Structure 1
Amino acid sequence: MTLEAFAPSQPLTLGVELELQLLSTHDYDLTPYAADMLRLMRQHHPDLPGTVVPEMTRSMIEISTGICQDGADALAQLTQIRNALVACADKLNIAIAGGGTHPFQQWHERRIYEKERFHQLSKLYGYLTKQFTIFGQHVHIGCPDADAALLMLHRMSRYIPHCIALSASSPFVQGQDTAFDSARLNSVFAFPLSGRAPCVLTWAEFGQYFNKMTATGVVQGMKDFYWDIRPKPEFGTIEIRVFDTPLSIERAAALAAYVQALGAWLLDTQPFTPCEDDYLVYTFNRFQACRFGLEGVYVDPANGAHLSLAEHILRTMDTIAPYAHSDFSLLRTSVEQRHNDAHWLRECQAHTPLLGEVSRQAALRFRQVPPMQP
């Protein structure tokens, strides 16, 4: 198999994907209603933008927008899809929530969705496949050409800790507080083709790498790479994959707007030439963002300076503000208050010992019902 050509796309256009939890309204554990949800969505809402598709296990679905011009466009599309999902969920007496992990589900109870690729992955990865019942947001950003896409990918890698800390919403796993803001990414890191893309800067070089990987038989196509950022040649985009699914579509759209502004700045200023040394502190910075969220430490790969991740995000927001196509002030307020969705979930848990109630509150937040009062 050879690497497909990089399709033309309008630079800086966006696409947003969200993996969502399907919850029983009896105990707010995960419930295997994906097939029923998809059936109702096809019957009652066939003309929505984007798609609604199954995910690895039967208690998950993935929604995606169509091509969006900016974060406001993404929010408008996500709102239509969210409202349709909530209406269908009500018919089934289930609930829908964001969040990067379900707080107390047990992985061994999950069932693989009936799709050939998912069963192939289950045979290959064993129990890891069911443990992949985790929930992320992916943001696609259009690039002018293949070489520009690789340059943006590697320039964007310096800001992966931003994406993790701003979206972190997975503090709980199997009934325990993990002490991580984003425990979800620990599950992703278990896969052998996860992590970072190789530091090649032209599509020709990337094609050589791809051919070597397919020659080994380890890789059949781009979907086999679980990298934090990967090219998506059929869309003409790069795809950032480290976000936890936020608890609200408003935050999901703001994250897309932030990525778009960052991409516009990177395309316009070409602020640095990526190199392998950029990745010397990549895993350290990634860990800090996962473990401590906005309270983490950021090591600047350019000069080795240490500063708080929140401060680095705020400085970056100041830099890219002139390039913003739509508002992401929701995120700035979050950074200033050092308060992300992981903190919100912990605050809910502090008011009740029942993690089922935390899941219920998350489902109410997804559908825009005011949260409980302390």
Structure 2
Amino acid sequence: MSLEPFQQSAALSLGVELELQLVNTHDYDLAPYAEDMLRMMAKYKLPGAVVPEMTSSMIEISTGVCRSSSEVLGQLSQIRDALVKCADKLNIAVVGGGTHPFQQWHERRIYDKPRFRELSDLYGYLSKQFTIFGQHVHVGCPDADSALLTLHRMSRYIPHFIALSASSPYVQGQDTAFDSARLNSVFAFPLSGRAPFALTWDEFTVYFNKMTKTGVVRSMKDFYWDIRPKPEFGTIEIRVFDTPLTVERAAALSAYVQSLASWFMNEQPFMPAEDDYLVYTYNRFQACRFGLDAVYVDPATGEHMALREHILLTMHQINKHAEAVSASSSLKVLRGDINRNHNDARWLRERQGQERLLAEVIRQAAGRFRGSAPQS
């Protein structure tokens, strides 16, 4: 299969996908209600889409093409409110977070869809262990070459995205000591990690053609990279975010991505280099393990600094770009959380420290997700 052409899209446009947990309201374990939720959600006229995911206790929502993070929030809020109404009728709840804290992977059911069955046959138990929940942010690029340049510039900031979104400290009832344990499951897949270092679409096409000739790859969907180009949308897709506990935080994270992309596209502050990736995996691990307390190694200088300080420095550098895309208020909220050393992983641990019962933590997380959405 040949690589499809890179479609035109509005530069700096946004699209957001959220993978969400469906839990029962008895013990707050995952519940296989995706098919029922999809049937009920089909009655609503909403922006974006609501689709199944790998296992039947998951559901994915996505916005349409948005011009700003406030538009992202508006669309996610509409979909969230409809989800909550449907869930109330089914006596279940919808929850954010990158992992369910105590679900057992072997109890999961693969959603009955040809691609999911195919992946299950290929990956075995990894498919059920892929009951993890992420946020994907698409940002529009004016052309294919600028998409690849933006992708590789954005790679330096992958630790920022991981630490700011981290919401998966618990796996199968245990505190993993990671802020984002979700990404350890992603790394188990053979085509995960970083994209190849190609700075033009011609170079990337050569790579893609070589991969398809091996028979390992048939389409871009087969790559589980941290950031990948999406030629059918004219975007790059950042995939390292844990699903936040609220749609407000999801929108704020998209605001940060959009502000960075504006900086890259308008100022081209640095040229990506293959050597940027010498510390990529180390920085990624640090952010997963320690969140905002991580150490960040600057790939250009080798300087070591606190990740939170690097994020704050970056937000200062892109301040005018945040203003230009109406993202200043979102970045202010994120800066406040950084200064308090707070992310969703910290919230989950604080609640568990007080409640000593993960089911109660999930009940409270479900309340956070529903926000002001009315009960039916």
Aligned residues, how many? 368
Cα distance in 2 between the residues matched to 1:39 and 1:279:
44
The answer on 1:335 being equivalent to 2:329 is no
Describe the superposition over 1:287-337 as per-residue Cα deviations: whole angstroms up to 9, x where unpaired: 000000000000000000000000000000001111012232221111111
**What displacement does 1:271 show?**
1.1
Match of 1:250 in 2: 248
User: Residues of 2 paired with 1:307 and 1:268: CA distance?
Assistant: 27
Secondary structure of the residue that 2:189 maps to in structure 1? coil
Q: What amino acid is aligned across from residue 322 of structure 1 in structure 2?
A: K
Q: Deviations 1:234-253 (Å, cap 9, x if unpaired)?
A: 00000000000000000000
Counterpart residue type for residue 146 of structure 1:
A
Look up the match of 2:24: 24
Q: CA offset at residue 369 of structure 1? A: 6.3
* 2:230 aligned partner, one-letter code: K
Q: Give the 3-state SS of the residue equivalent to 1:212 in structure 2.
A: helix
Matches within 5 A, 1:173-188: 173-188=171-186
How far apart are 1:352 and its partner, in Å? 1.2
Match of 1:11 in 2: 11
Measure the CA separation in 2 of the matches of 1:163 and 1:276: 21
Structure 2 equivalent of residue 147 of structure 1: 145
Following superposition, the deviation at residue 272 of structure 1 comes to: 1.2
Q: Answer with 214-223 or 318-327: which moved more.
A: 318-327
Matches within 5 A, 1:358-373: 358-368=361-371
Matched to 2:115, the amino acid is: R
Other-structure match for 1:291: 289
Q: Partners in 1 of 2:136 and 2:266 — Cα distance?
A: 23
Query: Which residue of 1 is the match for residue 90 of structure 2?
Result: 92
Structure-to-structure mapping, 1:1-374, within 5 angstroms: 1-43=1-43, 45=44, 47-324=45-322, 325=325, 326=327, 327-328=329-330, 329-368=332-371
Deviation, 1:174, is: 0.1
SS of aligned partner of 1:302: coil
TM-score by length of 2: 0.97
Deviates more, 1:329-338 or 1:193-202: 329-338
* Aligned partner of residue 290 in structure 2, secondary structure: helix
Instruction: Give me the whole-angstrom Cα distance separating, in 2, the residues matched to 1:176 and 1:302.
Output: 37
Amino acid at match of 1:205: E
Q: How big is the shift at 1:360?
A: 0.5
Q: Please give the alpha-carbon distance, in whole angstroms, between the structure 2 residues aligned to 1:82 and 1:330.
A: 21
- Counterpart secondary structure, 1:253: helix
Give distance in 2, aligned partners of 1:77 and 1:113.
Answer: 26
Tell me how far apart the structure 1 counterparts of residues 248 and 319 of structure 2 sit (CA, whole Å).
19
- Runs of 4+ in structure 1 displaced over 2 angstroms? none
Deviation for aligned residue 1:90: 0.5
Deviations 1:121-144 (A, max 9, x none): 000000000000000000000001
**What is the distance in 1 between the residues matched to 2:177 and 2:93?**
27
**1:242-290: CA deviations, max 9, x gaps?**
0000000000000000000000001111111111100000000000000
Distance, in Å, in 1 between the alignment partners of 2:272 and 2:312 is 22
Q: Distance in 1 between matches of 2:264 and 2:338?
A: 22
RMSD of Structure 2 on Structure 1 (CA): 0.8
**Offset at residue 51 of structure 1 (A):** 0.1
Residues in 2 aligned to 1:269 and 1:301: alpha-carbon distance in whole angstroms: 19
**Letter of the 1:42 counterpart:** A
Partner deviation per Cα, 1:37-88 (whole Å, 9 max, x = no partner): 0000002x1x200000000000000000000111100000001000000000
TM-score, with structure 1 as normaliser: 0.98
Distance (Å, rounded) in 1 between the aligned partners of 2:135 and 2:252: 12
Question: Which letter maps to 2:248?
Answer: E
Greater CA drift, 322-331 or 110-119: 322-331
| AA aligned opposite 1:9 | S
Give the secondary-structure state (helix, strand or coil) at the position aligned to 2:42.
Answer: helix
Query: Equivalents in 2 of 1:295, 1:172: separation in Å?
Result: 18
